[in-house]
Amino acid sequence: MTQATPPRIGIIGTGAIGGFYGLMLARAGFDVHFLLRSEYAAVNDRGLHLNSVVHGALSLHPVQAYARASDMPPCDWLLVGTKTTGNLELAPIIAQVAAPDAKVVVLQNGLDVEDSLREHLPGSLHLLGGLCYICVHRSAPGVVEHQALGRINLGYHSGSAINDDLRRQGIVEEGAALFRQAGIDSQAMANLHQARWHKLVWNVPYNGLSVLLGAGTTALMADESSRELIQALMAEVVLGAQACGHEIAESYAEQMFTMTESLTDYWPSMYHDHLHKRPLELAAIYARPLAAAKAAGCELPRMQALYQALSFIDRRNA
């Protein structure tokens, strides 16, 4: 029997998320190629390092690191770990590195982040969403701190398998199996769009409030006013999802709230963007779900106010 060739994996954007999953896959023996931008020289010289409460201190050196997509070999799986704020420029980069029939997994937060990429990608490429339930951030060039969790769930977005249930499921299962081989919990999701609404139940309150109030999860969960605001924002996201036809159990919001109480102080990725004067992911996490809810006849006033305040902060921080 012939052995299937192991897939080649490309990481498009080696930050906290791309660095974590890429390093874990490489250490599991996969052939992983990393595209970097400002941290290329540091990672090329000194490698990638992970300080993980779950996996301990792990390193990868040398790293198959690239400063230009055009230098990368064609990859069978591409994991997109950039911020959504750069998605307009991303499609040509992805198309350049993708092998024919490649699977592209968008690891970003936010609603329908795959849509704008899809328009500019060849139809032959399979586009998937990867929802990362993890707390990671970069503490120095090439250094990722992993504070909690790690699961990544995959769902099919679009591509030539869209009308072929078996093939679509096979692709998603293949992706989840890659992560599981690297010691990471990963499940296939039947409805990516709905799952993105679920994830917003956490990201809408905590990402934005961490920037607006300059507080991590410990402080946000310790104060009566912020606790009320978080719960009210979570309830609005659930309403928005319901208006758009996606049932989210009320207990899901409670579950997210309780889960956050068990986290050691966590500062979401949006806070790190604000701190480093990078643009905030406001379109993906706020504007798009607000617009979708509004189109379904549902106003979300607290979320709208949070979005307006964050837009002000984002413009002043630019």
Ligand X SMILES: CC(C)(CO)C(=O)C(=O)O
Q: Which residues bind ligand NDP (CB under 6 A)?
A: 13-18, 35-39, 81-84, 86, 93, 107-109, 132, 134-138, 269, 281
16 in contact with ligand X (CB under 6 A)? no
Site mask for ligand X (CB under 6 A), range 192-221, x = bound: -------x--xx------------------
Distance CA 290, CA 276 (A): 26
Let me know: does 218 contact 265? Beta carbons within 8 Å. yes
Nearest to ligand X of 179, 202 (CB atom): 202
φ/ψ of 219, rounded to 5, equals -65, -40
Per CB under 6 A, contacts with ligand X among 139-158 are 149
Site mask for ligand X (CB under 6 A), range 263-302, x = bound: -----x----------------------------------
C-alpha closest to that of 186 among 256, 134, 117, 126: 134
Distance CA 173, CA 187 (A): 8
Distance CA 9, CA 4 (A): 15
- For 314, the token pair is 């984002």
Distance CA 193, CA 281 (A): 18
Nearest to ligand NDP of 298, 313 (CB atom): 313
- For 171, the token pair is 């692709």
The span of 93-101, 128-136, 185-193, 226-234 binding ligand X (CB under 6 A) equals 128-136
Distance CA 298, CA 85 (A): 26
Total binding residues toward ligand X, as defined by CB under 6 A? 10
Q: How far is the CB of 258 from ligand X (least distance, A)?
A: 13
Q: How far is the CB of 21 from ligand NDP (least distance, A)?
A: 9
Tallying the residues shown for the chain, one arrives at: 318
**To 10 degrees, the CA torsion angle through 254, 112, 110, 250?**
-10
Distance CA 85, CA 80 (A): 13
Choose, from 103, 199, 277, 294, the residue flagged as catalytic.
199
Nearest to ligand X of 268, 289 (CB atom): 268
List the one residue from 28, 74, 99, 133 that touches ligand X (CB under 6 A).
133
Other CB atoms within 10 Å distance of the CB of residue 169? 14
Other CB atoms within 10 Å distance of the CB of residue 74? 14
155 binds, among ligand X, ligand NDP, none (CB under 5 to 8 A by kind): none
Catalytic-residue membership of 199: yes
Distance CA 165, CA 172 (A): 11
Q: How far is the CB of 1 from ligand NDP (least distance, A)?
A: 39
Q: How far is the CB of 315 from ligand NDP (least distance, A)?
A: 19
List the one residue from 132, 154, 241, 253 that touches ligand X (CB under 6 A).
132
Q: How far is the CB of 110 from ligand NDP (least distance, A)?
A: 7
Which residues does the annotation mark as catalytic?
A: 199
